[in-house]
Amino acid sequence: MKQDETLAEHLQGQGISRRGFLKFCAATASMLALSPGMAGAIADALGKARRPSVIWLSFQECTGCTESLTRSHNPSVESLILSAISLDYHHTLQAASGTAAEEAREQAMHDNKGEYLLVVDGSIPTGAGGGYSTIAGISNLQMLEETAKDAAAIISVGTCAAFGGIPYANPNPTGARSVMDLIHDKPIVNVPGCPPIPIVITGVLSHYLTFGSLPELDNLNRPLSFFGDTIHDRCYRRPFYDQGKFAKTFDDEGARNGWCLYELGCKGPTTHNACATAKWNNGVSFPIESGHGCIGCSEPNFWDAGSFYQAISSSPEDLSRAATGAIIAGAAAGAGVGLYNKYKQSRAKDKHYTVTTKDMEDS
């Protein structure tokens, strides 16, 4: 795509029809919880938009987030947006390597100073002076700070970049931190998920391209239009939850009847994400529809929240061991206190002497 081409022109060149493009705009409007009338405005704005420069930095991650974005079907909204932006630097997707790759980043930073979007996936190791992960001899922390400095905004893609994710899980040997922990002077949007839903990534990008601003965010910096509701709020198994009908194992009658997966550890009630509405694999289904409970992947610290198969109302700690210990300690302490009281009682008795009327008359 040529630098000065508009998105509409570029898409036409790619063989994407006007109809396909409008469909994408309508889908984006609805996903962003905008009124259907806004689809036209999005189409207008996107059509005229010049492709913005995007620098994508990958730190401590598993590439699942990039996989999520690219594992979409053609012609998909994702690939459409991917070709619409100028992805000037992306470890996994770019052809260049070595010095050339680093030069591309510096070039993009220089040419689009103050205007480029910075996308980050993966958490940033801060232990050992940043030595746990380096790219071209630069530590992740350094690269983030350097690139964030002139960015217009930062999009943290995936739970690792947004909240620390699995590298941050106890005991966090690399001192992993989230982008939000380290950068405080830039607008940051978190698009958590392990991995995040592709349309949420593209939705945020589209919003930025259309309105020149970031969408409305919740208290964890997640776009409200995608993370405003919990999985449980939108779950099609919810009527069974309300009736108290729960699957007890993954293959019992309840499971076959599609009952609620709460007792099998579903974290839907405490998880804010759009899986139940946006779904996965091009809208085929989402985990709960495939019979597995939500593991809460878009929430901070979900790796440390106990087993995926434990109901939210149960405790991740070993309660029976704690109770046994407490019974032994309590019995010992109770016996101790009881015997001490008895001792006090008998001492009081010993000190007690009987006063007769004669004693009183004498005194």
Partner 1 sequence: MSSLELLTWARGPALQAALVIFIIGMLIRVLEILLLGRKTDLTRARAGQMGPGLRTIFSRSLPVSGTWKQHLSGYLWHIGFIVVLLFYAPHIQLFKQGFNIAWPALPTSLIDIITIVTMAALVFSLSLRFTDPVRRMLSTVGDYFSWLVTFLPVATGYMAFHNVGPDYTLVLALHIMSVNLLLVVFPFTKLSHAITFLFSRWYNGANAGRKGVRV
- Note the residues at the interface with partner 1 (CB under 8 A): 220, 230, 232-233, 241-244, 246, 262-263, 269-270, 296, 299-302, 304-306, 310-320, 322-323, 325-327, 329-331, 333-335, 337-339, 341-342, 345
Helix 18-31 / helix 198-211 crossing angle, nearest 10 deg:
100
Decide whether 184 or 321 has the Cβ nearer to partner 1. 321
Q: How far is the CB of 265 from ligand SF4 (least distance, A)?
A: 9
Which one, 177 or 232, has the nearer CB to partner 1?
Answer: 232
d(CA 246, CA 227): 26
Residue 298's binding partner out of partner 1, ligand SF4, none, with CB under 5 to 8 Å set by partner kind: ligand SF4
The residue among 57 and 247 lying less far from partner 1, judged by its C-beta, is 247
Rounded to the nearest whole angstrom, what is the least distance from the CB of residue 286 to partner 1 in the complex? 19
Minimum distance, C-beta of residue 153 to partner 1, in the bound complex (Å): 22
Could you say which of partner 1, ligand SF4, none residue 255 binds, taking C-beta under 5 to 8 angstroms by partner kind? none
Per partner kind, with CB cut-offs from 5 to 8 A, the member of ligand SF4, partner 1, none near residue 330 is partner 1
Nearest to 156 by CA among 60, 256, 85: 60
Residue written as token pair 């939000």: 180
Count other C-beta atoms under 10 Å from residue 166's C-beta: 17
List contacts with ligand SF4 (CB under 6 A). 193, 231-232, 235, 237-238, 241, 260-262, 266, 268-269, 271, 273, 275, 286-288, 293-298
The residue sitting closest to ligand SF4, measured at its beta carbon, is: 268
Looking at the Cβ atoms of 179 and 235, the one nearer to ligand SF4 is 235
Rounded to the nearest whole angstrom, what is the least distance from the CB of residue 30 to partner 1 in the complex?
24
Residues 6+ apart with CB under 8 A from 108: 53, 55, 86, 88, 89, 116
Q: How far is the CB of 298 from partner 1 (least distance, A)?
A: 10
Identify which of residues 21 and 246 has a Cβ nearer to partner 1 in the complex.
246
Q: Min. distance of Cβ 242 from ligand SF4 in angstroms?
A: 8
Judged by beta carbon, residue 130 or residue 192, the one nearer ligand SF4 is: 192
Radius of gyration of the chain (CA): 30
